[in-house]
Amino acid sequence: MQQQLTITAPTTWAKIIDTPSYLRGSIRCDMDVQAIYITDSQGQTIRHLLKIKGNKAEIYWFADKPDHYLFHFVPQPNTPTTIEFDYHLLELKPDQRVSPQQEIISPLLTATSKGIAQHDVNAEAEFWQRVSELGSPLIEPTSAGESVVTFVYQGEDSTENVLLLGAPYDGRAYLTHLAHSQIWFKSYRLPNHSRFSYRLAVNVAQLAEDNWNEQYLACFSSVMVDPLNQQPQFGDPQSLFGCASTVSLPDAPNDAIVFKRDVPKGDITAFDYASARLGNSRKIHLYTPHNSYALTPSSPLLMLFDGSDYLTKVPTPTILDNLIAEGTIPPMRAVFIDTPSPDLRAQELTPNQAYADFLATEFKPWLCNQLGIAPSAQNTILSGSSYGGLASMFIAFSHPDHFGKVLCQSGSFWWAPPSNANTKTPSEHWFVDLVKEMPKHAIEIYMNAGLFEITPKAYEILNTNRTLVATLKHLGYQVTFEEVASGHDYFNWRVTLAHGLAALFKR
């Protein structure tokens, strides 16, 4: 269903839901609006679609009970705004309950389960009292240098399912309901150096259609932090999906480098850059170290993809301030590069020669001319995570005369061009084959990948990175590779960014 509204003041649009329904769609505005949200018939806000100023919002909404709902659109003051509202209903499974069988391996939960089975009326209350003291997930050390980590949720009679997002090894996994209790749980045996973030989603809409991607997106209708977690939260509470809960086991890498210290602090400036080659415009941020440090035209230049994420989820300026102050890296400038819109990220950051040429022959020369700098290839570092890591590697290998260092975090080396699937012998390691065909370049490389990044198989990170590292070393490249007990996770990447910079400048 499509709706179009032109508004100049806060406006509502009514939607009557007769039966539980899952709404999926999008909202596009020709001007930034202040907020878009949904209320029920009692006036309670039940869903924020856009919390901060913007002009796009995605709809992932499970209306689990019949009611008269209102969509609220709040434009900028005195600004005529046209809103295109497009949504459709996805069919639900008749049975919304999900509770997979799993073995109980937590000592505390084992004792509680036995107590409940023996009709001990205090067993469950004592369990939740213990959880309130220890927090969730429960962390119970073993004698094998691991810990049993158990995620728990206190459900209600209406709880049909509880999904763990950021689940170690699984990516996402449903918790199990312990019979005759309010306990939902999921346990893992994890290395004691594990460090990761996660979220919970309760009563996720179970879709009738067998569509992995849509079923995954459905969890965002009810995603939240773990209400029982006592560790510091991670992320931006104003973002669409809010903060995440965190886990840092006893031997996890120290993250002190990401916090502000009493050291000289650099400056951040922002500007828009319009590309003649690509025909679009993007936001750029520039970090310059404190003026007490001696910069020269040849000082290193760090270039980061997904720039806004590396200013928020990863406090890169603070990390640079600290690393420079302690002498781990030389004073350097950093450029944070965004894509023109989220929709273009997969297009720009997956290997394509047009974007590689833009960066090497248009943007970097322009930047050097504007700043009066001339860093050598060996003093120019490309960095990013996921698609950004893949882009860093591809662009450096395409233009080694411009980019001589790569800091790649959980690079998406499972990727291959669509044409690859149509060949008679499609390659499982497209980028590996590409590197093998090239002459050896003078590129220094730091890479990391998470031990938990093994699912789904089609987008597997760990082993594809291992294969590429082995190939690069065989070809004679200088590669530092770090395997970390984490997932596809900025909570970990903000620490390994510092590790990568230290490794690339250790000489």
Same-domain check for residues 229 and 343: no
* CATH number of the domain that residue 461 is part of: 3.40.50.1820
Same-domain check for residues 228 and 269: no
pLDDT range class, residue 507, cuts 50, 70, 90: low
pLDDT tops 70 at residue 84: yes
Same-domain check for residues 206 and 281: no
Neighbouring C-alpha atoms within 13 Å toward the C-beta of 308? 12
**Region 459-463 average pLDDT:** 95
pLDDT tens-digit readout, 201-217: 999 999 999 998 899 99
Burial class (CB in 10 A: 0-12, 13-18, 19+), 212: exposed
Same-domain check for residues 238 and 267: no
Please provide the size of the chain in residues: 507
pLDDT tops 90 at residue 346: yes
SS3 of 185-252: EEEEEEECCCEEEEEEEECCCCECCCCHHHHHHHHHHCEECCCCCCCCCECCCCCCCCCEEEEECCCC
Report the domain count for the chain.
3
Residue 44 within any structural domain of the chain: yes
pLDDT tens-digit readout, 119-176: 999 999 999 999 999 999 999 999 888 999 999 999 999 999 999 999 999 999 999 9
pLDDT tens-digit readout, 363-406: 999 999 999 999 999 999 999 999 999 999 999 999 999 999 99
pLDDT tops 90 at residue 427: no
pLDDT tops 80 at residue 238: no
- Reduced to 3 states (helix: H, G, I; strand: E, B; else coil), residue 296 is coil
pLDDT tops 90 at residue 302: yes
Q: What is the pLDDT of residue 71?
A: 92
**Short-list 22, 170, 169, 163, CA closest to 99:** 163
Q: What is the pLDDT of residue 421?
A: 65
Q: Pseudo-torsion of CA 257, 259, 262, 267, nearest 10°?
A: 100
pLDDT tops 80 at residue 113: yes
Same-domain check for residues 124 and 159: yes
- Torsion angles phi and psi, residue 192, rounded to 5: -70, -5
Both tokens of 485, joined, read 């007990």
- Reduced to 3 states (helix: H, G, I; strand: E, B; else coil), residue 362 is helix
Torsion-angle region of residue 145: left (phi > 0), alpha (psi -120 to 50) or beta? left
Residue 98 within any structural domain of the chain: no
- Which residue range forms the structural domain that includes residue 203? 107-248
Q: Cα-atom radius of gyration of the chain, to the nearest Å? A: 25
Residue 205 within any structural domain of the chain: yes
The chain-wide mean pLDDT, for the chain, equals 94
Instruction: Report the alpha-carbon distance of residue 301 to residue 293 in Å, rounded.
Output: 15
Instruction: Report the alpha-carbon distance of residue 60 to residue 50 in Å, rounded.
Output: 12
Same-domain check for residues 178 and 234: yes
Same-domain check for residues 367 and 487: yes
pLDDT range class, residue 422, cuts 50, 70, 90: low
Same-domain check for residues 288 and 311: yes
Q: What is the pLDDT of residue 240?
A: 67
User: Which amino acid is present at 148?
Assistant: V
pLDDT tens-digit readout, 462-490: 999 999 999 999 999 999 999 999 999 99
In contact, 174 and 98? CB cutoff 8 Å = yes
Same-domain check for residues 292 and 383: yes
Q: H-type helices in 59-211, by residue range?
A: 107-117, 123-134
pLDDT tops 70 at residue 426: no
Instruction: Report the alpha-carbon distance of residue 144 to residue 150 in Å, rounded.
Output: 17
Quick one: which H or E segment has residue 345? helix 345-349
